[in-house]
Structure 1
Amino acid sequence: MKPELSVVMPCLNEAETLAVCIQKAQGFFEREQVKGEVVIADNGSTDGSQKIARDLGARVVNVPEKGYGNALIGGIKAAEGTYCMMGDADDSYDFSNMMPYLEKLREGYDLVMGNRFKGGIKKGAMPFLHRYLGNPVLSFIGRLFFNSPIGDFHCGLRGFSKEAFYKMDLKTTGMEFASEMIVSSSLKNLKIAEVPTILSPDGRSRPPHLNTWRDGWRHLRFLLLYSPQWLFLIPGLFLMILGGVVSIALLTGPITIGNTTFDVHTLLFAAGFLLIGFQFVLFYGLTKVFTVENGLLPKSNKYDRLFKSITMEKGLIVGAILVFIGVGLSLYAYSNWQELNYGDITNNSILRKVVPAITSGLLGVQIILFSLFFSILGLKK
């Protein structure tokens, strides 16, 4: 008979704790009368882990491609159960207490996450930096960027339906696989639940495979790259608004606040903020098209409206108008300079024409180039 639940454990030299993890899972199957299997996704163990697993009746799947994500993807694809539970084989998670997960899966949830902060973290189970900095910060960013309800993004014990796993279409090969599973589920509107779980100290005598700074950066990098809105659009709009407001305020003349006077030099910096912010916004548009057309992010109605409202022709027209405005202001500034017989410019009024002229011209060229490249990226559409 087809098993209802497959417990998938990634394995790389876990001989010390593998047996107790397998026995706990098998004990759960027997006690709760669940038709289940244990799948060991071996990533090249050299300590006899494969023999331990086979002797205990677990199924071993050899995954030659290195990486936490690769191991799990290989094991999950080989699993035969309707539902899958994944968890580390270091005895830090209790495989004998999986019923809360299975009950949620039976209710129709696509992904069921454990929450160690609600269930309890035993003394020595989680390093100080992970508990009070890494996990809370990365989980907060994940909730903010992707509107996810999950409070513990990196809990290693989680369950999901096999059908939902294929909908997630996961691609990462390292530790960031854990974040991608939640992000993909959130973006694709899968049903997500969370249950308390207890984290115990690692039962191995050797150091864990997890590297605090390297893998923490990989998780953060993934969250940023999968959210072009927070990576490009929001910072870009902030810089554009700041630069635009300050530029408009300084075009009419200097502004004095206290003992400090802001003049054309501040105007130059403000124009720079405006241009940099606009560049960020353009990158958001290009990144959005690339990620959607290559299947990295789901397509939405907002995306379709983007293509209807932003066309190459409109962009070329707007860009050309801004270039002409820049050229016109430049000629006007040149005529003022001519009146000075091309001498030293001591009057800041000329610079108040030069800075907007250059800014307008650069914005126009950027829009023209963006329109052309935007259309090239969207040729598939």
Structure 2
Amino acid sequence: MNKTVSVVMPCLNEASTVGPCVSSTREILNKHQLQGEIIVVDNGSTDDSAVIAQKCGASVIFEPIQGYGSAYLKGLQAIKGDFIVMGDSDGTYDFREIPKLIEPLYKGYDMVIGSRTKGNIQPGAMPWLHRYLGTPLLSRLLNFFYKLNLSDINSGMRAFTKSAYQKMSLTSSGMEFASEMLIKARHVHLKIAEVPIAYSVRKGKSKLNSFSDGWRHLSLILAYSSTRRFMLPGFLCLMGGTAISGLLALGPLKIGTFKFDYHYMMAATLTTILSFQILSFLFLAKTFLAKKHQSSQDVLFHVIHRFISLHGIKSSMISISVGFLLGLSIIYSWVHTHFGELNKVRTGLLCFTFLIMGLQLLFATLFLKIIDSRDS
């Protein structure tokens, strides 16, 4: 059974390329006898992009709110096809590859990503920073947090079914729209495939902002990520440092001919303090980003959030008090020996650990309350 295809292209001052993109799309649809429509979303162009697109046979929709996601959300509201193909109108994507892109949809896949890294990237088409750092790094992060296996999460050429689009409930207005689509596709258990595609040198000035767009992708990836995977490395370091510090606080530890003394306790104590600081920062960052993107969170996140909200200040006061008492015991011993030689290294390390971690928890709790107060 033939499916109808809706091709959606965002457009911002692409007068030199939008015409060829629309024309090549119309030709390939006709060649393969595919019924469909071509929708160009003009995102505030000041040139003749909209006029050219209409002359070439596209339906033009206007979206005054600028943004990659905003343009697509406007265009996707108007689609009538069973299959949806999205791609930029700047000449970088070859719309003659549409049949290859939608073929997996006929085989039961819900979404298909056109992978530039598995295909042919023309020299100069992708900046070195994007090709060898940004895209691989973000792809690995998204694969790690969401158990995906994709090579190019930033690809702008994709195909998916109309029912898949309806399940995802997309909302992002910027470049992070591409990441949100994959994250929500994973959340609703969509079946995703990749096919290699070509990527050409664009005509005209690029509208990408490497660092701000990269941050928007990264913040959204972290906002929706599993709390366990997000915080696991820091938690393991914290537990390891705490366990070693606790053992060595009782005295030197001898394993065979090797002796672990307070020098190793210093390293373990530093690991514990830094791990706790990193965990505090990560949790606060995740809380802030989750609220910013209004993303739902897992049970572990809510357990940690509830504990810190209800017991953070009390727990920090207990930790500070323990540290203070350990400090007093050191001073007492010093006075008791008439200010003579003092050998309380282990007690001193424990004292500083409890004091510093107590203060860290106190400030983390106060900052969490500031973040939460933004909703009230």
How high is the TM-score relative to the length of structure 2? 0.79
Give yes or no for the alignment of 1:359 onto 2:353.
Answer: yes
**1:211 and 1:321, CA in 2 relative to 1: closer, same or farther beyond 3 A?**
closer
> Do the aligned partners of residues 91 and 312 (structure 1) sit closer, same or farther apart at CA in structure 2, a change above 3 Å counting?
closer
Is this contact kept in 1: 2:6–2:39, CA < 8 A? yes
Letter in 2 for 1:145: F
Distance 1:117 1:307 in 2: 39
Contact 1:235 1:280 (C-alpha < 8 Å) held by counterparts: no
Contact 1:228 1:288 survives alignment (8 Å)? no
User: Match of 1:201, SS?
Assistant: coil
Name 2:27's counterpart in structure 1: 27
Following TM superposition, by how much is the alpha carbon of 1:162 offset from its aligned partner in structure 2, in angstroms?
Answer: 3.4
Matches within 5 A, 1:135-174: 135-174=135-174
Query: Is residue 12–residue 43 contact of structure 2 (8 Å, CA) maintained in 1?
Result: yes
Counterpart for residue 179 of structure 2 = 179
Partner of 1:95: 95
Task: Give the CA deviation at 1:185.
Answer: 1.8
Aligned residue runs from structure 1 range 292-331, under 5 A: 296-300=294-298, 306=303, 322=319, 325-331=322-328
Aligned mates of 2:305, 2:44 — CA distance in 1: 51
- 2:78 maps to which residue? 78
SS class of match (2:334): helix
Deviation of 1:11 after TM superposition, in Å, equals: 0.5
Describe the SS at the equivalent of 1:96: helix
Deviation per CA, 1:226-257, whole angstroms, max 9, x where unpaired?
4474896134225414532553465356799x
After superposition, the CA RMSD in angstroms is: 3.9
Superposition deviation, residue 84 in structure 1: 1.7
| Secondary structure, aligned partner of 1:198 | strand
CA distance 1:230–1:207, change in 2 (3 Å): farther
Contact kept in structure 1, 2:24 and 2:96, CA below 8 Å: yes
The 5 A counterparts of 1:226-375 are 226-227=224-225, 229=227, 233-241=231-239, 243-248=241-246, 250-252=248-250, 267=265, 270-284=268-282, 296-300=294-298, 306=303, 322=319, 325-341=322-338, 343=339, 346-347=341-342, 349-363=343-357
Give the aligned partner of residue 64 of structure 1: 64
Letter of the 1:76 partner, please give it: L
- SS, match of residue 198 in structure 2: coil
CA spacing shift, 1:171–1:230, aligned 2, 3 Å: farther
Residue 329 to residue 131, structure 1, CA distance change in 2 (3 Å): closer
Specify the code of the residue in structure 1 equivalent to 2:245.
S
SS at match of 1:136: helix
Equivalent residue for 1:223?
221
Cα 1:198–1:358 change in 2 (3 A) is: same
Alpha carbons of structure 1 residues 280 and 123: separation in structure 2 relative to 1, 3 Å: closer
Gaps of 5+ in 2: none
- Asked if 1:53 is matched to 2:50, the reply is no
Residue 64 of structure 2 aligns to a residue whose secondary structure is coil
Could you report, residue by residue, the CA deviation over 1:25-44 in whole angstroms, capped at 9, with x for unpaired residues?
11222222322111111111
Determine the C-alpha separation between the residues in 1 that align with 2:29 and 2:21. 13
User: Distance in 2 between the 1:167 and 1:132 partners?
Assistant: 33
Q: Which amino acid aligns with 1:360?
A: F
Q: Please, which moves more after superposition, 280-289 or 180-189? A: 280-289
Q: What is the alpha-carbon distance in structure 1 between the residues aligned to residue 335 and residue 201 of structure 2?
A: 78
Contact residue 6 and residue 81 of structure 2 kept, 8 A: yes
Structure 2 counterpart of 1:109? 109
Partner SS state of residue 81, structure 1: coil
In structure 2, do the counterparts of structure 1 residues 309 and 226 end up closer, same or farther at CA, with 3 Å as the change threshold?
A: closer
Q: CA deviation at 1:331?
A: 4.0
CA contact (8 A) 1:4 1:82 kept: yes
